[in-house]
Structures are given as C-alpha cells and as structure tokens.
Amino acid sequence: MNDSVVILSIASAIVASTPILFAALGEIITNRSGVMNLGIEGMMLMGAVIGFWAGNTTGSLIVAIIIGGLGGVALALIHAVLAVTLRVDQTVSGLSLVIVGSGFSSFIGTSGEPSLLSARNGVDVTPLFPSALRDLPAIGPILFGHDLVVYLGVIAVITATYVLNRTAVGLALRAVGEDPASADAAGISVTKMRYIATAIGGFGAGAGGAYLTVAIVGTWQNGLTAGIGWIAVALVILAGWRPWLALIGALAFGGLNGLGFTLQLAQVNVPSDFLKMMPFIAAYLVVIAVSASPNRARRLAAPAALAQPYSREAR
Amino acid sequence: MRNRLRVMPRGVTGPEVRFGVPLGALAFALLLGAIILAFAGNDPIEAYRTMFDSSLNGWKAQSRTLALATPLILTGLAAAVAFQMRVYNIGGEGQLYLGAIGASWVGLALPASTPTPLMLSAMLIVGALAGACWALLAAIPKAYFNADEIITTLMLNFIALSLMNWLIFGSRSFWRDPRRPVPGGKRLPESAIMPSISGRLHIGIIIAIVAAIFLWWLLRKTSWGFQIRTIGDSPRAARYAGMSVRRKTMAVLALSGALAAIAGVSEVSGVTKGLEPIALTSNIGFTGIIVAVVARSNPLGVVPVSIFLAAIATSGSRLQSIGIDVEVVFLLQGLIFLTVTAGEFFVTNTVSLAHPDTSATGSPPTSEIKAAI
C-alpha cells in the first residue's frame, strides 16, 4: 500500500516543497519589515553551491543547511546595504542579487579544486523516524518518512506565525513594514529591524537552496534552481504574506514539481517540457487571480511600506 | 575620534555626475573582480589583458564583440523603454525566444526563393509581433488588475523556454530538422539569413543602432515619449493631466517585447541560422536588464554599454587558455550590476565628511551614516 502512486507522490511533494517553503518564509519576514527582496533566486543559488560544498566537506545535512543559509545571508546583506542604507530602487537591487548570485555560484562551483561540478553528494540523507513509524500504512511515508529538515520547515512556519503575531519583536517588525515613521517615533530602529529581517530572508533562501542540492538533486550544476526562487516570490503574494498559507502553497507547488514523477508512475505520457511549465503557468495565473480578486482584504494584505525606502528627513 | 559621513540630496544632477558615477562604478567592479581573481589564485592583470586583447584589440576581435553586442543593444533597449515608465519588463528572455520562434517559422514557411529584403522584413515583423503578444500576456493583467509585471514576465520566460525546448527536443515540430541525429532546428534558407558585414558581424547591428536612435527620438522628442516619462515620474500627476496610463502601459510593454523579440530575430537569422534552443539561451534577455540599468535607461547610452558588456562576454572563452573559468564573465557582469546600482545613491546624493565640531552648525540636518574613519 505504501508503494501506491498517490502516497509516493504526496511524500515527494512534501520533499519538493521544502526549499520553496524555506525561501518563501524568509521572504515573508523580509517583506513584513517593508523590504522587497527579489533576489531569492540568486540567494538560493549561493546557498545551494556553498551548502553542497559544506555537505561534501562535513557529511552533515544540518551543517550544509546552516552554511548554505549563511551564504544566502551574505547576499541578503548586500541587498540590505543597497536598499535600506543607500535607499536605491529595491527592484533593481534585488535583480542585481539574482545576477550576482548566479554568477558567483557558477564561479565557485567551477573554480574549486576539485570542481564541485563533478563532485558526488557527500551527505547521507536519513529519515528522522524509526522504520516502525515509517512503515505505518499511508501516514508512515507521508508523515514520518522524511529527514530532519522537512520537519524544521513546519517548525519554522509555527515559529514565524507565533513571533510575527504574538511577540513584541514581531509587532515591531510589522510596524516597521506598515508605518516606519510611527515605528521610528515609538523608538524602534527601522534600519536595524530591516537589516535583521532581510538577513533572515537570506537565510531562508540559502537554506532552501542548500536543501535542494544536498537532499533533493544530489549534485551541483550551474543555475540549478531553475526558477524555484521566483516561484517562491510568487508564492509570497499568493499566500498574502502569511506563513501558514505559504506552507499550503509550497505543498501545491511541490506537488506540481513532482507531477512528472507521479504521471510517470501512473504511466501517463505528457511531454516533459509541458510538465516543467506547469508550476510557472500556475504561478502566472495565481498572481493574476490574486490581483484581480474582488476580495480587497486579500489584495491589501501587502505591508503598506513594502519596497519603500525609509528616510527620516523625507517624512 | 569618530567622524560622520554627511549625506545630502543633490539639487541638480549635472552630466559629469550622470556619466561619471556609472563609469566610476564600472571601474570599481573591475577592481573587485581583480581582487576575487587574485583570491582564486589567478593573475588579474594577465586576465584583464587577455580579455582586452581578445575583445577590443584589432578589427577581428572588435567585430566579434560587436556581433555579440547586437542582441544586447536590442534587449537593453527593451528593458530601458519600460524602465522609463517605471515598468519592469524582466521578460526579455522569453520575448526573445518568441521572436526567434516566429522569425524562424516565417523563414522556413515562405518559399526559399523569396527575395532577401522581403524575407527579412517579414521575419522582423512576425518576430516582433510574436514578442509583443508575449509581452501583452503580462501587460494586460498589469493594466487592468495591476498584476505585478515582474512576476508575470518572469513566469512567461520559463514558459517560453519550455515551449522552445519542446519544439526542438520534445516533438517532431515544423521547426525541427528530422534528419539530424542530435535534435536541432531546420536550417534557414540563404534568403532568410542576415547578410554578413565581416565574419560573424551581420547587418543586425545596423538594425540595433537604428532602433536605439529611433527610441531616443521617440522618448525625447515626441509628446508620446514625454507622456511615458511623466507617467514614470508620477503616475498620479499623469492621470490628473488626462493621460491614459492603462493604454500606455500596454503600448510600452508591447514595444519592449517587440524590441527583445527583434534580438531573437537577429540571432536566429544572423547567428544560429535556425531555431537552436541551446545557442539562444545565453542570458541575452537578462543581460539586457544590466545594460539598461548601467545606461540609466538612456537609449543612446545602451549602445556603448552593450559593447562593453559584450567585450567582457566574448573574452570569456579566451580566458580558458590561461586557466580561468568562463564563469568569471557572469561574476563580472553581476559585480557591475551591483556597483552601478549602488552608484545610483551617489547620483542622487552627495557624501562628504562632516567633522563633529562643524556638524552642529551649517546646513539644515541631513541624514548621517555612522562610519568610523
């Protein structure tokens, strides 16, 4: 029963959704502070290449994820300097991260001795739970069949929801994203808050990228993320900047990513190029649907000061 | 003692600032690149000399650089015209593919005996229309529902890429040459190929430069262009003055898509001579965005910036002979994008040292960045 197409494809969707979830969750936190960072794709690539290297060197999944996350933070801090301190156009700054991240990751990936391009994955990804739980019918592979990082994703959603909505720090972060002038008057450092939130976003994207190389793909190739970072950007809009909805959305996109695998198992023949298109068509339609939605609350869920640089003098 | 940097907005931005800051940023990016190369164990001076020799030294190298600059000028213009209205067309890549698909369809469908001028005109028109329509898929939702064009144009890139791959690798389509063992496009007839000027350089460069001049005229000398720039500066003011923001959004994105598509036509007709997905997916659309940012969206600035970035890109393959990976090209492009973006701050602001004893007096309060100097 645990070999059935449905169960295997749900389990694979959960794994495929994890990098998207980490990246989207990080971006939600960044956006909630009023900073738009379109550089997810670049930060993911940075995390992917550095995390893969760290995984190969140490053999540890969790070290790979953390080091990969820090690779994302490094790029995110560049964005923070440009967008928060220098107050340049956040769209342009974010796009520059994509190009820097893809260029730098390719450079790191090829230039190492030996090159990471030919390296085999040195991390053994093991399930967290014992086989007694994993062999339970249906719920075994779906709920207990994954590695530690998948569960960390769920914990991160719970933590993010709690911190954003129930703590003083979360309130301060949201205040900075909604009305930075008032937050500033209330004694909150807008700059500090935005730097921290941008760094957290970088960590999420970098960790997601590292999970992608180390636990899913198992090799490094130039431009390996192939648009997953952009799917995460779209997902943030779709989720209305709420972590719980991002979890559900990530599962949907993970399912679409794994659709080829599912159909292959079910012996349905669809050209692979159309399968590759599916998540992007879905994201395209969803972004339009959200924008056209008559539900104003949904459309206005964006933080009020999103992508607006804050300058004390320009109030 | 801790000094502070004093930041003040510039009143008037003179040409020395508008040109000087991006040039300074370019130099700074090359310096950063040299440091990274040195860290990676290479000789940066040798690397830059090789890059210069293989891209700008002598007509042969120059013509190779100009050949690569041709599509970059067009995708750069595509991004620049949209930036003028503060619309972000990140979809140059996909629009380029559609232009290539459309043009190669015309080239293969019309009889091979069609006179070249007629054939090339038809390819340009159909290619440009295909790209414009592809851009409208993002422009219409933007105009009517304010759907974020950055995301929609990007998603359309990936869709267009898969579509093009499917035509050649995934199906027995009209474009695919069934006789070739490795999947590839049917070769275009001689009449559908842009005449060569010298080696790889073809008349596409003339089309690109004419497009740059036309766009400069359109944006600077016509009331349509004035309206576009007004909408870019202040959509609310533009609407108040009775301009149709909705219609202009669609027109500008369609024009932008058409320009990017012409880059695809030029590549397919002048370089690949058939629909060849691998050769066409060399980031020309994305690099166009860097071009537009470095050129500060000025259509005439796009030409020299494209040539400069093309020079870096052409020299990449030559770098391998001295043991440096081609990837350094992307690294340099990224660094240039980054430093020029940061440079924008110095275009709009002046930064000077403010001594603690003098900062109390003088001009009205300005924002100060803490710096331990």
Query: Hey, of A88, A105, A107, A108, which one would you mutate to test binding to chain B, going by the most B CBs within 10 A of its CB?
Result: A107
For the segment A186-218, what is each residue's pLDDT rounded down to a tens digit?
888 999 999 999 999 999 999 999 999 998 888
For the segment B197-208, what is each residue's pLDDT rounded down to a tens digit?
888 889 999 999
Residue A197 has a pLDDT of 95
CB contact under 8 A, A271 and B166: yes
Mean pLDDT of A97-106: 89
A142 Cα to chain B: minimum distance (Å):
30
Mean pLDDT of A55-83: 92
Mean pLDDT of chain B: 86
Compute the residue count for chain B: 373
A176 Cα to chain B: minimum distance (Å):
18
Which range in A127-131, B225-229, B253-257, B271-275 is most confidently predicted, on average pLDDT? B253-257
Mean pLDDT of A13-42: 93
- The region of weakest confidence among A166-175, A253-262, B67-76 is A253-262
Q: Which of A85, A103, A230 sits opposite B154 (nearest CB)?
A: A230
- The residue ranges of every structural domain in chain B are 1-42+324-373, 69-312
Report which of A216, A197, A190, A307 is spatially closest to residue A20, judged by C-alpha positions: A216
Asked whether the predicted pLDDT for residue A296 surpasses 70, the reply is no
- What does DSSP say about strands B4-9 and B196-198: parallel, antiparallel, or unpaired? unpaired
Which range in A88-97, A111-120, B325-334 is most confidently predicted, on average pLDDT? A88-97
A126 vs A91 pLDDT, higher one? A91
Interface of A with B in 186-225 (CB under 8 A): 222
Domains in chain A, start-ordered, CATH in brackets?
5-117+146-314 (1.10.3470)
- Cβ-based contacts of B369 with chain A (< 8 Å): 85
For the segment B149-177, what is each residue's pLDDT rounded down to a tens digit?
998 999 999 999 999 999 998 888 888 88
Q: Which of B152, B331, B367 sits opposite A311 (nearest CB)?
A: B367
Does A311 reach chain B within 8 Å, measured CB to CB? yes
pLDDT band at A2 (very low <50, low <70, confident <90, very high): low
* Local structure of residue A254 (DSSP, 8 states): H
Mean pLDDT of B76-87: 94
Residue B356 has a pLDDT of 52
Asked whether the predicted pLDDT for residue B140 surpasses 90, the reply is yes
Say how many C-beta atoms besides its own lie within 10 A of residue B340's C-beta.
27
Q: Are A308 and A88 in contact (CB under 8 A)?
A: no
CB contact under 8 A, A111 and B40: yes
Mean pLDDT of A78-88: 90
For the segment A67-80, what is each residue's pLDDT rounded down to a tens digit?
999 999 999 999 99
Residue B128 has a pLDDT of 96
The matching CATH number, chosen from 1.10.3470, 1.10.10, 2.60.40, 1.10.260, for B69-312 is: 1.10.3470
Question: What chain A residue is nearest to B79 in terms of C-alpha separation?
Answer: A92
Question: What chain A residue is nearest to B148 in terms of C-alpha separation?
Answer: A287
Interface of A with B in 214-273 (CB under 8 A): 222, 226-227, 230, 233-234, 237, 271-273
Give the whole-angstrom CA distance, residue B250 versus residue A129: 54
Question: What chain B residue is nearest to A93 in terms of C-alpha separation?
Answer: B341
Contacts of B57 (CB under 8 A, 6+ apart): none
pLDDT band at A31 (very low <50, low <70, confident <90, very high): very high
